[in-house]
Structure 1
Amino acid sequence: DDQELVLEDLTREQVLDWRTRAAHDHQIVHDHIARYGEHSAQRLFTRSFVATVQRLSGLGHLDLGYTPWGQA
């Protein structure tokens, strides 16, 4: 799909569809950032969601929450 994505042209339903798919597959966020940039991803998916996806990817997509390993 070589068609450019224009965020302003998306309907509310299309935005919700993008967000739903991204919630199930974080690679969609990474692909969007690679093609359109982080600012565009933050506008489409929300800044908070993009930050969470990036944080989780730094953990290898494994989020066990806070575990105080090594602390007695």
Structure 2
Amino acid sequence: KLDRNIRGLLEDAKRGEPGAERQAKMLVIQMIPALRQAMEGLMTPNMPEELKPAQPLVPLLPGNQGGGPQQQ
């Protein structure tokens, strides 16, 4: 995502937008520490945790919640 932002800013700079080249340089400077960590193997991808529902969406055994004949 950061790469796309930098490329977009460089395109803006080519069109003559003031400050775009400077912003692109600032983003590159911010990216350098993360790149170093990645090259050294210090960064691992963020894996999302497996989602487990707190309760089922549809009750498995609905009991006497209506719909069937009621016993008296």
Q: Same fold (TM over 0.5)?
A: no
* TM-score between both structures, scaled by the size of structure 1: 0.28
- The structure that has the greater radius of gyration is 2
Name whichever structure is richer in helix by fraction: 1
